[in-house]
Amino acid sequence: MEYITFDFYNDTKEKWLECFCEYFNLNLDKVNQYFNNFNEDEKNENNVIQDLNINLKKAKSSNVKIIGRHMTTSTSEDLKSFEKYGLMDLKFMLECDTPLSEFLARYEIKVDVNNKKIIFRGEEYPILDYIESCPRCFKDNKNIKICNKYSRCELKKNLELLASKLYNYGATLEFFIMSNLSVMQKYSTICRYPEILETINGICRHLPNSKFSPSMLGIEWANEKNKCYVIEFPAILSNMETYAPMDYESTYYKYSESFDINGYTYIDYMEKNIPQNVLDNIILIQWFIQAYFGCNEKYGSLLPNKYIKSDDIIIKEINK
């Protein structure tokens, strides 16, 4: 299959426009003129879909690739893991034979994602969400410390954070769809150590006799694995998380005009009868508009249990 590839890093605006028109079967000259006269206050996907009469059903998101970039820190030896496995999700990185799991094992830490527990120095602790009781603050159903949904201890806060990353968000592979290098380097801790180490450290330092200091795991990782890399790869749009609003029902009204012009009603939306392909295309148009008019920061992620093959990745070392 020949894919249409949107590369918001290496290609020009003209190339993006060509890809946009090819994918949605639009006249390049007319669309170019349309965007040249685009009103500053009308830069949204609903207007573009209506004005250009875009058929969201016909264009298949399985035929599109988006170039993504993932930042990581490693050693030259550890890079062999990417060459062997490719770019995997967080669940794989924690449970399988990877530099991350090996590093944690040296501190007697293991995360059992499937069974929702973290093992520290041979002791098992449940990975809890916000509705579950804290294992240290509750005993025999009596709250012996102040720990509830309004005021939680530090251990419970970090356990909930880990649960959110692994289960609410599916432990997915996260990356940048568009960004410059300086923005990537300033994002969280990723140019020094994996974000997940901060969460795991926050759990372990509040367990009995751990003697972990703040950010200890991250600091140790950064001292040992002090090379920073950007991994570039193509992701198939249908394998990416696109339409995932926090409030599903109310978000309908943001895109209602786009749904209407393509023949979908509020009932179709609420009963989830709108094809995922249509939702993917709405978000792709949103990304395209943002890139075309100068946005330099947009994040993305793969769907749960999706990964990037080793043959598809390009690894580049960067200076911190």
Q: Has residue 78 been placed in a domain?
A: no
Q: Has residue 126 been placed in a domain?
A: yes
Full DSSP string of 124-154: EEE---TTSPPTTTEETTEE-S--SSSS--H
Between 320 and 274, the higher pLDDT residue: 274
Tell me the pLDDT of the chain averaged across its residues: 93
Binned at pLDDT 50, 70 and 90, residue 68 comes out as: very high
Between 311 and 151, the higher pLDDT residue: 311
Is the pLDDT at 140 greater than 50, yes or no? no
Q: What is the mean pLDDT of residues 222-228?
A: 93
Q: Has residue 14 been placed in a domain?
A: no
Q: Has residue 209 been placed in a domain?
A: yes
Is the pLDDT at 139 greater than 60, yes or no? no
Q: Has residue 24 been placed in a domain?
A: no
Q: Has residue 221 been placed in a domain?
A: yes
pLDDT digits (tens, 9 = 90+) for 292-308: 998 889 999 999 999 99
What is the value of pTM for the model shown?
0.91
Q: What is the mean pLDDT of residues 203-223?
A: 93
pLDDT digits (tens, 9 = 90+) for 74-119: 998 899 999 999 999 999 999 999 999 999 999 999 999 999 999 9
- E strand map for the chain: 4-6, 64-74, 109-112, 117-120, 123-126, 138-139, 142-143, 174-179, 227-236, 297-301, 314-318
Strand partners, 175: 300
Q: Has residue 3 been placed in a domain?
A: no
Is the pLDDT at 138 greater than 60, yes or no? no
Binned at pLDDT 50, 70 and 90, residue 208 comes out as: confident
Q: Has residue 211 been placed in a domain?
A: yes
Domain assignment of residue 116, given as a range: 88-172+194-228
**How many domains does one find in the chain?**
1
pLDDT of residue 154: 85
